[in-house]
Amino acid sequence: MGFFSKILEKLGIGSAEAAPAAPAAPADAAAPAAAAAPAAPQAIALVDVVAQLEQRAQANPQKLNWRTSIVDLLKLLDIDSSFGARKELATELGCPANLMADSAQMNMWLHKTVLARIAANGGNVPQELLS
């Protein structure tokens, strides 16, 4: 499992808890199994990331600002936020080498990229955090 997958898992994105319940198709005994129609693509379930993170932030004794800090975002999700862990995540997500050399630049890139990837996977990230 990749580092980013851990983030999605903590948010319930791509897991059974985030997936919408599929309606059960009625069984048609007269139709042969080979003639069954292919399953329609499932829509990505929208996960209320903002509500989850705000709730975690309120319950956390530290004053963490997930909206601006990748370190705080990772801490709220109970994921390693050390420099080494962030560097691993940046590498996994394809951070440009010139940004990897400057931890502040890497962190800013990482924060925006993680939020954008969360949104692309069904998380409701506010537009102002993506631009």
Q: What is the pLDDT of residues 40-82, one digit of tens each?
A: 445 556 788 999 999 999 999 999 999 999 999 999 999 999 9
What is the C-alpha to C-alpha distance for residues 115 and 121, in angstroms, rounded to an integer? 10
CA distance 45 to 121: 9
Average predicted confidence (pLDDT) for the chain: 82
pTM of this structure: 0.74
Separation between Cα atoms, residue 75 and residue 60, nearest integer Å: 10
* Euclidean distance between CA atoms 128 and 41, whole angstroms: 30
Tokens 């499992």 -> residue: 1
| Residue type present at position 115 | L
Arithmetic mean of pLDDT, 96-112: 96
pLDDT given at position 66: 95
Looking at residues 29-38, what average pLDDT do you find? Answer: 46
Q: Is residue 93 over pLDDT 90? A: yes
Position 1 scores a pLDDT of 63
User: CA 3 from chain center: how many Å?
Assistant: 11
